[in-house]
Structure 1
């Protein structure tokens, strides 16, 4: 296995284990939120609008204490006179005007940042999903589907909270903190200096606690992802779980995982509660002490009542801003962990990429595509020490039907995965119509290949759309024609709503043979020059197999076909039969010549045909 494959596998393993202690120590800081910049950049105008609303709202809030000072000193203080009532009226009118501006600006800010949160989250989810579906099978060998789903749902929800709320709250409170601080010094430099000095001392324990909260937040997200991954795996295997009566065991496993997530979450919640309590006690204790000093200053005549009232309000604003920022810091730290996990997922690069300047396939020949393998050797990334294919050489002519047989593990399905470029061989090359498939755009390569897999995938849609998956622009008539060729038309017509019948999740409303015929119809609709049949008739009864075999023989006309089959009755009419064992081609010929050879194929034929050699 190449070093690059090893590196990529290591990267994928890292992505599948976000709870890695090494990474826990290296990351988790708020700096991870910088990774959101590419998603925020397209919406700069909305951010500016939110910023303007934010500044207006903060300015209105900071104007309120000054209005109260005017009211106290000029309305009720020693300077109050015959015009005090008129002055009080004006002050309250000004207060109402400020409150109206505050209300409008706050509503505008809320709407804009909420829109940004929803929009950016939708973009992130789409980007992550788009990236994941472009990964090679190697990625899914090492990453659980439930883990990916947890990142797309739970982690993006945390980011939505930050972008759509926490950032706005943080900026608003930063403005209030700074503005309040300036006004405190304007009101009383002496008291302000004392309060600032004491507040600096309170920040140190708060920061120390914040680090613990950050680590616990990351742990909490990882435990939730573990539970989601386990649930996804079990729900996708319910028939097996129930067949082996493992419902209680699986329920217990999931309950234990959920309980583990709960305990981790409670550790995080306790730490955040302590952080909040510590922040409130230290900050407000500082403010109360300074206000006690201020009260004595009023009694001594060095401050007016209005100055003290204004100082109290600004101190409250500063204290409230600090408290809010400590709350937001906890949310931001959780979102930083979520951003890390999403960026890790997006940073995983598949080795299977389209070339920067892809070549084009020659015009399609009337009789199909030519396929050749030149000394191909391959090991799966998860099993680098085992050769799945070893120095394989093969030439398949246009229009030829080649059957590949051999015992399980011989490398038959691996061939198909390499043809589709799900993996690249470590040595050798594969050519389609004379072009190295590594030089082809992946969409071009896979568009030229139709496949009927052994494990048929049926989507949660109706029969018409499941077949149309083979070619998205196909008309209803073309879909129906493909279904007829695959002997699927009759049973589809008998469904409650015909071609519009919903087939259930993973096709649970169909038999195995019916699912297989849907897959064959899908491949026929695609009409590719190269057709790959991986046990295409394995799940059919004798009558359906006869119908499908006849349809496949008609479909093979004008295209190259490669068939994998354990049931030798389905491959006897192939132009050539290739026998594989341990990743190598050990025998080649037609049915009669291979039976006469007396090797592996002859033994397989003897077992299946009870020593009766079938001839044409």
Structure 2
């Protein structure tokens, strides 16, 4: 997969060239479904901005007419009317602002939830190749920290940006109406001060992206260590790992402080330069009033509109800072969404033939495969194998011979570089992935137990199974007895990754899962490796019953578990080097005979 790693991200230089707005355009597909809510928020925004812009005009009326030369009741009536109008404007402003706040906050939460769901849905559909090159902690950082930044932009910053843009444009127009000369001077000065602000903003954006990357690194380290705490503690690496995480956190802090310092300088520049320009122009206006070129009301109105415009510019600079951070977060999420797995459903899947009682037929023809991370090493080399429906085939050989790789290809976690794999005569690349994997049950060597009760952990094999079917599968897998002894029986919470169970108990839960699925093809990857002698005897009996009527492939290092297989294939260096029954392979005197001699001799010595 050419882009299988999210670490192959674009450089910060190319990122900065695209601009924050260009990056945020990637959010449009998530915003489009809520056009009606955006329209409502826009109307509320327009009303609130209009109400705000009406306030300085009311003050002009009050200054020029309420405090004019007439005096007496006329002036008092004018002041009363002005303040009554101001209260009406404030009421409209309050309602419109509340409506805008509620709508945009809803949009922020809704869009963020949609993005999180889309990213997670996309990630869980990736092939194992993706997870070879991407750390889980980094994905979690993107799902949490990055989406929170986007929530701030959609739920707050976009609204603030539009509001202050309206206030800026409206205030500027009213400044021209009030005094075109003073406004022209302000604009000339603003052009001079905006250029350094924009240039400095690019540096802020680059630092924002760096800051998010460092946070993701820290999350990745934390996730990796927390998932391996028994190993960390067994090797007394607690202090070492704490220092490593602390170093990563300090790196994230240092990067964040560079971003914060840059943001602080940017804010200081914006406020100092903009307000300096406005104060200078207002000084000119004060002299115009003294010379009789403007009324006091005009100057008061001009000051208020200038305050609105300068406040809008200051707020926009703050919003741009948030947009810089969100742009980096958006790019990271879009990079994740852009990753495409090579393992995809065919455009027109071929259905599997109707299932027969004898299990599935399996055919491997000249299969060659190398892992993407080790392309120069052949994990499987010209492997050909025919398995008849209902046949039990054991796969043995030294570690690294290609046994587990064979199972991964059967499940289509990877595709071979050459050759074909057929299930019931259909190339598995032509099958819908859910149909293919639905036809295969697997008991892995490393059993995964989820943070749920025993009932739901076994029901993972078939989501629509009844409680009675789950219990029946547990009984077949010799798991019923120990589950019943748990504090709440089948309702007992098994702990994260099954920490409340022994290795053998976890294995039996996995076997119950596979039996509940009732597939035509059963893959047993060291299914009894973690069991004691008594449990192994019980499970072996259950597995033998489960193998009836289905095709079974067994990986086992303990040869005692494969002696009754219909056929044994021996693998070495990715090739099938021997095939036969236990007796015929022992008589052959090859690799299997040596393995058997070593194991059975050791058993005799132990006894």
Within the candidate set 429, 436, 442, 1:445 is matched to: 436
Query: Is residue 28 of structure 2 the alignment partner of residue 37 of structure 1?
Result: yes
Q: Distance in 2 between matches of 1:345 and 1:164?
A: 22
Q: Which residue of 2 aligns with 1:69?
A: 60
Query: Is residue 562 of structure 2 the alignment partner of residue 571 of structure 1?
Result: yes
Question: In 2, are the aligned partners of 1:28 and 1:218 still within 8 Å (CA)?
Answer: no
Distance apart, 1:29 and its partner CA: 2.9
Q: After superposition, what is the alpha-carbon deviation per residue over 1:425-476, rounded to whole angstroms, capped at 9, x for unaligned? A: 0001100000000000000000000000000000000000000000000000
Q: Which residue of 2 aligns with 1:345?
A: 336
Q: Distance in 2 between matches of 1:532 and 1:419?
A: 9
Question: In 2, are the aligned partners of 1:18 and 1:222 still within 8 Å (CA)?
Answer: no
Q: Which residue of 1 aligns with 2:186?
A: 195
Q: Which residue of 2 aligns with 1:306?
A: 297
Q: Distance in 2 between matches of 1:600 and 1:23?
A: 56
Taking a change above 3 Å as real, the CA distance of residues 277 and 378 of structure 1, as seen in their structure-2 partners, is same
Taking a change above 3 Å as real, the CA distance of residues 550 and 144 of structure 1, as seen in their structure-2 partners, is same
Structure 1 unaligned segments of length 5 or more: list them: none
Q: Distance in 1 between matches of 2:389 and 2:445?
A: 24
Q: Distance in 1 between matches of 2:445 and 2:202?
A: 51
Q: Secondary structure at the match of 1:610?
A: helix
Query: Is residue 95 of structure 2 the alignment partner of residue 95 of structure 1?
Result: no
Question: In 1, are the aligned partners of 2:390 and 2:550 still within 8 Å (CA)?
Answer: yes
Q: Secondary structure at the match of 1:460?
A: coil
Taking a change above 3 Å as real, the CA distance of residues 304 and 28 of structure 1, as seen in their structure-2 partners, is closer
Q: Which residue of 1 aligns with 2:311?
A: 320
Q: Distance in 1 between matches of 2:9 and 2:167?
A: 37
Query: Is residue 389 of structure 2 the alignment partner of residue 398 of structure 1?
Result: yes
Q: Which residue of 2 aligns with 1:474?
A: 465
Q: Secondary structure at the match of 1:162?
A: helix
Q: Distance in 1 between matches of 2:584 and 2:20?
A: 69
**Number of residue pairs the alignment of both structures matches:** 604
Distance apart, 1:84 and its partner CA: 1.2
Structural mapping, 1:367-378, within 5 Å? 367-378=358-369
Q: Secondary structure at the match of 1:377?
A: strand
Q: Which residue of 2 aligns with 1:255?
A: 246
Structural mapping, 1:237-252, within 5 Å? 237-252=228-243
Question: In 1, are the aligned partners of 2:164 and 2:313 still within 8 Å (CA)?
Answer: yes
Q: Distance in 1 between matches of 2:362 and 2:199?
A: 64
Query: Is residue 165 of structure 2 the alignment partner of residue 174 of structure 1?
Result: yes
Distance apart, 1:391 and its partner CA: 1.0
Within the candidate set 408, 416, 420, 2:407 is matched to: 416
Farther-moved stretch of structure 1 (78-87 vs 148-157): 78-87
Taking a change above 3 Å as real, the CA distance of residues 146 and 19 of structure 1, as seen in their structure-2 partners, is farther
Within the candidate set 196, 205, 228, 2:196 is matched to: 205
Q: Secondary structure at the match of 1:83?
A: helix
Distance apart, 1:21 and its partner CA: 5.0
Q: After superposition, what is the alpha-carbon deviation per residue over 1:205-236, rounded to whole angstroms, capped at 9, x for unaligned? A: 10111011001111111111100000000000
Question: In 1, are the aligned partners of 2:12 and 2:209 still within 8 Å (CA)?
Answer: no
Poorly superposed stretches of 4+, deviation over 2 Å = 16-30, 77-82
Q: Distance in 2 between matches of 1:218 and 1:433?
A: 51
Q: Distance in 2 between matches of 1:199 and 1:480?
A: 75
Structural mapping, 1:266-277, within 5 Å? 266-277=257-268
Q: Which residue of 2 aligns with 1:597?
A: 588
Query: Is residue 139 of structure 2 the alignment partner of residue 148 of structure 1?
Result: yes
Q: Distance in 1 between matches of 2:171 and 2:379?
A: 70
Query: Is residue 548 of structure 2 the alignment partner of residue 557 of structure 1?
Result: yes
Distance apart, 1:81 and its partner CA: 5.4
Question: In 2, are the aligned partners of 1:487 and 1:544 still within 8 Å (CA)?
Answer: yes
Q: Distance in 2 between matches of 1:422 and 1:148?
A: 20
Distance apart, 1:82 and its partner CA: 3.8
Distance apart, 1:525 and its partner CA: 0.1
Q: Secondary structure at the match of 1:425?
A: coil
Question: In 2, are the aligned partners of 1:16 and 1:147 still within 8 Å (CA)?
Answer: no
Query: Is residue 451 of structure 2 the alignment partner of residue 460 of structure 1?
Result: yes
Q: Distance in 1 between matches of 2:509 and 2:228?
A: 22
Distance apart, 1:25 and its partner CA: 5.2
Structural mapping, 1:129-168, within 5 Å? 129-168=120-159
Query: Is residue 98 of structure 2 the alignment partner of residue 107 of structure 1?
Result: yes
Q: TM-score, normalised by structure 2?
A: 0.98
Structure 2 unaligned segments of length 5 or more: list them: none
Q: TM-score, normalised by structure 1?
A: 0.97
Q: Which residue of 1 aligns with 2:577?
A: 586
Q: Distance in 1 between matches of 2:331 and 2:560?
A: 54
